[in-house]
Structure 1
Amino acid sequence: MYQCLPLVEKMISRIKSRSSKLLSYSGSLQLVKSVLFEMQTYWAHIFLLPKKIISIVTSGCRTFLWTGSNNCSRKALVAWEKICRPKTAVGLNVIDILTWNRAAICKLLWPVEQKKDKLWVLWVHTFYIKSQDLSQMETPKQACWLLRKVIDARKCLTSNDSLHKSLHQMTYKGEFSIKKSYLSMLGQFPKADWSKLVLVKGPIPRHHFILWMALYRRLSTVDIVAKWEIVVQQECVLCDTQSEEKFDHIFFACPYAKHVCCSLVNWLGYSRTIGDWNPKIQWLIQRISNSRPRDSILGFCFAATAYHIWVERNGK
């Protein structure tokens, strides 16, 4: 593991720079994606990364995304597993580097199973596999750590088919595809109705990120901050109703937020009374499913509205 520590330092140094502390959530997300993308496209193709190294890098990226620093913190508004989901499953499509590394290991298992005419493959078959069935044999204990990991990659295959068929399903034009293997290992996620709001085209990235957090109801409203044992003002700062600030109050029981949203809806030519969050989201989903330009505009206008209401709240 110690040989990989320079790699960790190189990855984490990207998020330790002074300029990175000035990034918004969406900017931090793009930086995290670039760090993990570099690991995915280069390092994970060349080396088998120890699980501990992957855990350190993932922890650093997760902490930076939510706090803007590299100091250890347990603050995470949304679980990392949900962030790594595809956008159709209401995730942010961040690469799960642990799963990607497993897929990269399967790429090394592929030539062994196919008995490719390569020197290292011939060496593995001559000294370790011999005449045994690769899918049934025990992992040779006398083999080096690298080879044991390659052979143990059989356990990562989720298919109930034979080893040969499972690996063949992950090929493209006769070559093993890490991407296909990665998607297969991720599995299928149920599609949420409000994924259409996440997939809508047009929103500015920072608007999109705040809307995504709002859909998960994970914005740092007073009721959530209270769980962290932080004492803050309980009343809503946007209106004079002395109501306790909760998510359902800001979106859109608050008179100020309701007025802003009603103004947007009326400006776009819709006649609709603004109510609670869930009915509003269901109405939006039905509208943006159409191909009419006005309904398409509604999606990213709503993202901008949610963002600016939240910014106004934070600025009070």
Structure 2
Amino acid sequence: MYHSLIQKIQSRISHWASKNLSYAGRVQLLNSAIFGLESFWCSCLFLPATVIGHIERLCRQFIWGYSQGTRKLIFFSWEKVCRSSRAGGFDIREILSWNKTLMMKQFWKLFCSSRTVWTNWMHAYIIKDADLWTIQPLVSSSFLWKRFLQLRDHLIHKTGMHQAQLLRATGPPRLRLRLTYQALRGAMPNLFWTKALMDPVIMPRYKVIVLLAFQNSLSTTDNLCKRGFHMVSRCILCLKAEETTSHLFFDCEYSSGVLQALFTWQGITRRPLSLKHEIRRQAQITGKNIRKKWAKCTLSAAVYNLWAERNARIFQDTCRSSSQLICVIKNVIRIRVLACMNGLTNEAVSISLAS
């Protein structure tokens, strides 16, 4: 019965796998195409745990770039991937909770004035004059009805929410899917440092790498050595110290010099701090003028391009000097900042011409 769903997801993923996509591009494809298909099934049926596990495995393999016969080490759990971006995740829906949320929407139709054949039959033969929030299943009740009531009890028990809290304040009775999903997922507080990544001037692919770097989830040599790999852990950029996330961003002489040059370009005289300190400083920046956007874009562009340079040296045996990399990052920042502004100002022109 569920074979067609898995087959459709598998065929789409196998087609996309041949494309050269960033992590952010893969996440966007999953959210737009795969989860649209999956939502139809989730709104009609309680998906078995084995089917949910299979779908999540396919999605996980697609995001991290698995290929046939190979296995990759991942340092970012699927539970974190399914968190909201403000909680340090990728904004991907957790399938089990989403399935329960959409099925709760079907159960909610019994409260509404919607008179479909199913709701009429349920009220006439099953519910009758009982209260939907207290009715209990009979031994002879169907499997689907028992699952509905279990879901109702689970939602109330887990959240302690009264039914009125699930209704909209105005208009006809309607289940709030977002609140129901958040209630089933559990409380996930927003993290202050993620404010630094919320500005649209930061490109999605940059945002993902910064997010992984901040949470020490990149495949640095020290992380690989902790998993049992025997390899030289020296930093490929400066060749002077062990490669760790904190060293790459920005204790390394090479990366620190790159960021220092970008700071000088912006008129900032202080020395670069560690990545976590820099992101927390950026999270405190408010305002939407071009100078603020310029500052927000600089750090993410530096982190992404330094990581790309590190990978190019290891896997492609290519090498760029710090001055070459600085020129690349400056060009990216100019184009991105100007593209995000509504019209060019004198200040924008001066930035675009800055060297």
| TM-score interval (norm. to shorter) | 0.7 to 0.9
The answer for the alignment partner of 1:174 in structure 2 is 173
- Closer/same/farther in 2, CA of residues 124 and 173 from structure 1, 3 Å limit: closer
1:283 maps to amino acid: R
Residue from 298, 302, 305 that aligns with 2:302: 305
The answer for the alignment partner of 2:116 in structure 1 is 118
1:315 to 2:312 alignment: yes
The answer for the alignment partner of 1:217 in structure 2 is 216
The answer for the alignment partner of 1:37 in structure 2 is 35
Which 5+ residue runs of structure 2 have no aligned equivalent? 314-355
How far the C-alpha of 1:40 sits from its partner, in A, is 4.9
How far the C-alpha of 1:180 sits from its partner, in A, is 4.0
Scaled by the length of structure 2, what TM-score is found? 0.78
Aligned residue for 1:95, secondary structure, equals coil
The 8 Å contact of residues 234 and 243 in structure 2, kept in 1 or not, is answered as yes
Superposed, which structure 2 residues align to 1:1-316 within 5 Å? 3-17=1-15, 19-20=17-18, 22-69=20-67, 75-114=73-112, 116-154=114-152, 155-157=154-156, 158-163=158-163, 165-169=164-168, 173-241=172-240, 243-286=241-284, 288-316=285-313
How far the C-alpha of 1:181 sits from its partner, in A, is 2.5
How far the C-alpha of 1:18 sits from its partner, in A, is 6.2
Same amino acid, percent of matched pairs: 28
Which 5+ residue runs of structure 1 have no aligned equivalent? none
- Closer/same/farther in 2, CA of residues 78 and 19 from structure 1, 3 Å limit: closer
Scaled by the length of structure 1, what TM-score is found? 0.87
- Closer/same/farther in 2, CA of residues 190 and 175 from structure 1, 3 Å limit: closer
The 8 Å contact of residues 168 and 176 in structure 2, kept in 1 or not, is answered as no
2:244 maps to amino acid: K
- Closer/same/farther in 2, CA of residues 9 and 140 from structure 1, 3 Å limit: farther
Aligned residue for 1:231, secondary structure, equals coil
- Closer/same/farther in 2, CA of residues 284 and 177 from structure 1, 3 Å limit: closer
How far the C-alpha of 1:224 sits from its partner, in A, is 0.5
How far the C-alpha of 1:44 sits from its partner, in A, is 2.3
- Closer/same/farther in 2, CA of residues 170 and 180 from structure 1, 3 Å limit: farther
Aligned residue for 1:14, secondary structure, equals helix
Q: Distance in 1 between matches of 2:30 and 2:222?
A: 29
- Closer/same/farther in 2, CA of residues 114 and 173 from structure 1, 3 Å limit: closer
How far the C-alpha of 1:21 sits from its partner, in A, is 5.2
- Closer/same/farther in 2, CA of residues 36 and 302 from structure 1, 3 Å limit: same
The 8 Å contact of residues 52 and 95 in structure 2, kept in 1 or not, is answered as yes
Q: Distance in 1 between matches of 2:172 and 2:214?
A: 40
1:125 maps to amino acid: H
How far the C-alpha of 1:170 sits from its partner, in A, is 8.9
The 8 Å contact of residues 82 and 93 in structure 2, kept in 1 or not, is answered as yes
Aligned residue for 2:201, secondary structure, equals coil
Q: Distance in 1 between matches of 2:46 and 2:273?
A: 53
The 8 Å contact of residues 166 and 176 in structure 2, kept in 1 or not, is answered as no
- Closer/same/farther in 2, CA of residues 205 and 282 from structure 1, 3 Å limit: closer
The 8 Å contact of residues 168 and 174 in structure 2, kept in 1 or not, is answered as no
The 8 Å contact of residues 100 and 151 in structure 2, kept in 1 or not, is answered as yes
Q: Distance in 2 between matches of 1:10 and 1:140?
A: 38
The 8 Å contact of residues 48 and 105 in structure 1, kept in 2 or not, is answered as yes
How far the C-alpha of 1:313 sits from its partner, in A, is 0.9
Aligned residue for 2:56, secondary structure, equals helix
Q: 211-220 or 34-43, which moves further after superposition?
A: 34-43
Aligned residue for 1:190, secondary structure, equals coil
Aligned residue for 2:238, secondary structure, equals coil
> 1:98-135 CA deviation, whole Å, 9 max, x = no partner?
21111111112112244753332232234333444332
Q: Distance in 2 between matches of 1:48 and 1:202?
A: 40
The 8 Å contact of residues 15 and 70 in structure 1, kept in 2 or not, is answered as no
1:26 maps to amino acid: A
How far the C-alpha of 1:58 sits from its partner, in A, is 1.2
Q: Distance in 1 between matches of 2:72 and 2:261?
A: 39
- Closer/same/farther in 2, CA of residues 212 and 10 from structure 1, 3 Å limit: same
How far the C-alpha of 1:55 sits from its partner, in A, is 1.9
- Closer/same/farther in 2, CA of residues 180 and 277 from structure 1, 3 Å limit: closer
> 1:6-63 CA deviation, whole Å, 9 max, x = no partner?
1111112211126545322222222222344313543323333233222211121012
The 8 Å contact of residues 170 and 178 in structure 1, kept in 2 or not, is answered as no
